[in-house]
Amino acid sequence: MSEPLLLPLTHAFSNTHFTTPHHLLRTSSARSSARFHHRHKQVPLPLSPGSDYTLSFSLGSPPSPTISLYLDTGSDAVWLPCSPFECILCESKAPPLSPPLNLSSSATAVPCKSSACSAAHSSLPSSDLCAMSRCPLDRIETSDCDSYPCPPFYYAYGDGSLIARLYKDSLSLPNSLSIQNFTFGCAHTTLAEPVGVAGFGFGQLSLPAQLSSVSPQLGNRFSYCLVSHSFDSDKVRRPSPLILGRYEEKEKQFGDEIVEFVYTDMLYNPKHPYFYSVGLEGISVGKRNIPAPENLKKVDRRGSGGMVVDSGTTFTMLPASLYDSVVREFDRRVGRFYERASAVEETTGLSPCYYYDKVARVPGVSFHFVGNGSSVVLPRRNYFYEFKDAGDGVGKERRVGCLMMMNGGDEEELRGGPGGTLGNYQQQGMEVVYDLEKRKVGFARRKCSSLWDSFNN
């Protein structure tokens, strides 16, 4: 994945947390048991809005205080800060969403010989892991190392890392949904990661996989519908619905809203199997279709290419050649009407940006995914962010609009990883459905707040 995104955001984005692509190194295997009162029904869960989207739950018996973690379809494990907790280089990061967890008396360490332990250590054999845990050789040979815990494991993202131990405990989600023997990472030290992550990617330690091991109808198909980003922490918005067990039928008619889903096939990535990768054919700016480079259309055997659909990354990252072409065409259409806001570009790292008086005239933007008719028209707010700029604080405020996509690096930098990332900012106002059995990702324009209300009326 690309290097961490460093933006000196000083205008509308001050004190805002942005996430960069999560470049993880794990696949996993685990078993759990679940108890729920929603058999054969869709289960809506609330995601808290903001510049990222968070899922809340509690652990243990008696239940812990509420824990809030970032929802991340770009990773495959659940981990959280545990007491005592230290976050290195977190001074510029968003504050923790919940206090570090004190493990409950019902929590148990995952043993070194378990498949979950092997998965957290990149499929290292259990005999090696038990040796690391100082289980005696005779007990290793007789598979009698249950009392020796899984050794700490290292987990790396594109913008941070952590060391954690594996535990099991009961997990309680809203809507009376619980999972017994849920496996999670307990981190006492992290680098630039003050908030834990609820991994929703492929891999059996992810939350959907642990749920689907006993309730396939809930874990094998889920969706979310992200309400508009709120960079103002004081602005209250309705939650974004995360829907476990999302049904296919009756999706096209929801109240007065007609919904048309557009599907594209998932691409298997042999090096990063936890990613939901899809192929991108091109991007339209206005009526001009800009073809995507070959590395966005497919994934090769070395794990290079494809576009990751990632709820845990804020902005869409495009390879340099495609990004430059999109920016040139956008500026050709917009720059002739409006003055470039160069000062804003320098202080925010966003580009191109423009000053305008009332309503900016900008071309439409569409993403064309691989597959017949698999095109998604982005809502304007998903690619053009509008705010007021006070400049040096002396003059009059001016309206500014910026294109909200990022340069993800050139082909050499992207080799061995995804060619691009579809971030959550570009997924606002759309329901995104993940069908893990049919290996498809679907998109539909939705009124996300209305969708949430429909499940709660």
Q: Would you call 402 helix, strand, or coil by DSSP?
A: strand
Helices (H), 106-190: 115-120, 126-132, 137-141
Would strands 240-244 and 221-225 be described as parallel, antiparallel, or unpaired?
Answer: antiparallel
With tokens 């002739």, the residue in question is 336
Integer CA distances (angstroms), 443 to 242, 301, 367, 410, 429, in order? 14, 27, 11, 28, 10
91 SS3 class: coil
Residues 6+ apart with CB under 8 A from 189: 85, 86, 87, 88, 162, 163
Whether 324 is catalytic is no
What separation in angstroms does the CA of 112 have from each of 37, 57, 165, 167, 169?
Answer: 33, 27, 11, 11, 17
Rounded to whole angstroms, the Cα distance separating 297 from 291 reads 10
**357 labelled catalytic:** no
Nearest to 76 by CA among 266, 210, 179, 213: 210
CA dihedral 228, 232, 237, 240 (to 10 degrees): 50
Of the residues 76, 159, 169, 310, only one is catalytic, namely 310
Structure tokens at 210: 């642990």
d(CA 1, CA 308): 10
What is the SS3 assignment for 141? helix
* Active-site residue, from 72, 76, 159, 169: 72
- Dig out the tokens for 90 from the structure: 């977190």
Residues tagged active-site: 72, 310
